[in-house]
């Protein structure tokens, strides 16, 4: 029996049994689109053959209360352990295996960022290419297009020479080489 109610716009993303490292007790972890719920079950003997199971929510953390630093949520996985930093408290939970821990970290990161792992990876590649373009003055899109159209040698040569013509780098390189060789002659 569940001791929690989901809001109308809340869905369950992941469920599994975990161990809270702090208390060393088993709990059921429920990750929803808005929070992490840790629910413990207690078996109560009601007689010789009769038992009753009571579920009790021990922790309920809103995903918006998970700390972030430099745009990255503070959730670290090491093997089957996952360390989570929230505004209320920091805690570690142990999953049955490393793969389950990875699934949880991926699901919770997707829920916090609103983007899938693929979309986050694509954004990182775009940022890296934009940084390279800015630093070197290249247009990697044109270079890749040239490689596809003209082959590797032609694409790179045309792409780099086009950048050199646009930016005046070729004149600067020629002047630098000439001034360096004229200084050696003296």
Q: Are residues 74 and 21 in the same domain?
A: yes
Stretch (H or E) spanning 60: strand 51-62
Q: Are residues 108 and 127 in the same domain?
A: no
Between residues 19 and 3, which one has the greater pLDDT? 19
d(CA 151, CA 145): 10
- CATH code of residue 108: 2.30.29.30
Tens-place pLDDT, residues 7-58: 888 888 899 999 988 888 888 999 998 989 888 877 677 777 777 666 666 7
- 3-class secondary structure, 81: strand
d(CA 137, CA 167): 8
Residue 171 pLDDT:
57
Q: Treating both helix axes as pointing N-terminal to C-terminal, what angle do 169-185 and 140-167 enclose, rounded to 10 degrees?
A: 50
Mean pLDDT of 123-136: 78
Residue 87 has pLDDT above 60, yes or no: yes
162 falls in which pLDDT band (50, 70, 90)? Answer: low
d(CA 128, CA 132): 6
Q: By the 8 A CB rule, do 91 and 22 touch?
A: yes
State the residue range of the domain holding 93.
Answer: 12-114
What's this model's pTM, rounded to 2 decimal places? Answer: 0.61
Q: Are residues 78 and 134 in the same domain?
A: no
Q: Are residues 174 and 92 in the same domain?
A: no
Overall number of domains in the chain = 2
Q: Is residue 2 part of a domain?
A: no
Q: Is residue 148 part of a domain?
A: yes
Q: Are residues 17 and 99 in the same domain?
A: yes
Within 10 angstroms of residue 177's Cβ, the number of other Cβ atoms is 10
Q: Is residue 4 part of a domain?
A: no
Q: Are residues 109 and 48 in the same domain?
A: yes
Asked which of 114, 142, 176 is the last residue of a domain, the reply is 114
Q: Are residues 133 and 84 in the same domain?
A: no
Q: Are residues 82 and 132 in the same domain?
A: no
127 falls in which pLDDT band (50, 70, 90)? Answer: confident
Q: Are residues 42 and 69 in the same domain?
A: yes
CB neighbour list of residue 185: distance below 8 Å, 6 or more residues apart: none
Of the candidates 50, 48, 112, the residue with the CA atom closest to the CA atom of residue 86: 112
d(CA 16, CA 166): 58
Residue 153 has pLDDT above 70, yes or no: no
Q: By the 8 A CB rule, do 184 and 177 touch?
A: no
Asked which of 68, 83, 114 is the last residue of a domain, the reply is 114
C-alpha distances (whole Å) from 49 to each of 45, 84, 87, 115 are 8, 40, 44, 50
Asked which of 114, 140, 164 is the last residue of a domain, the reply is 114
Q: Is residue 7 part of a domain?
A: no
Half-sphere exposure (Cβ direction) of 110: Cα atoms closer than 13 Å: 15
Q: Are residues 74 and 157 in the same domain?
A: no
Q: Are residues 85 and 143 in the same domain?
A: no
Least confidently predicted of 8-12, 121-125, 148-152: 148-152
Least confidently predicted of 35-39, 71-75, 120-124, 140-144: 140-144
Q: Are residues 99 and 28 in the same domain?
A: yes
Residue 91 pLDDT:
92
């Amino acid at each position: 029996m569940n001791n929690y109610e989901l809001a109308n716009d809340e869905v369950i993303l992941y469920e599994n049994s975990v161990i809270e490292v702090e208390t060393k007790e088993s709990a059921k972890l429920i990750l929803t689109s808005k929070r992490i719920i840790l629910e413990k079950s207690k078996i109560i003997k009601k007689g010789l053959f009769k038992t009753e199971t009571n579920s009790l929510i021990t922790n309920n953390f809103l995903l918006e209360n998970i700390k972030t630093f430099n745009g990255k949520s503070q959730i670290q996985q090491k093997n089957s352990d996952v360390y989570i930093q929230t505004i209320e408290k920091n805690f570690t939970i142990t999953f049955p295996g490393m793969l389950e821990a990875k699934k949880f970290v991926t699901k919770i990161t997707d829920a916090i960022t609103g983007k899938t792992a693929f979309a986050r990876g694509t954004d990182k590649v775009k940022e890296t290419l934009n940084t390279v373009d800015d630093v070197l003055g290249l247009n990697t899109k044109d270079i890749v297009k040239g490689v596809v159209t003209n082959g590797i040698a032609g694409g790179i040569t045309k792409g780099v020479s086009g950048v050199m013509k646009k930016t005046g780098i070729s004149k600067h390189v020629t002047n630098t080489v000439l001034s360096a060789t004229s200084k050696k002659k003296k």
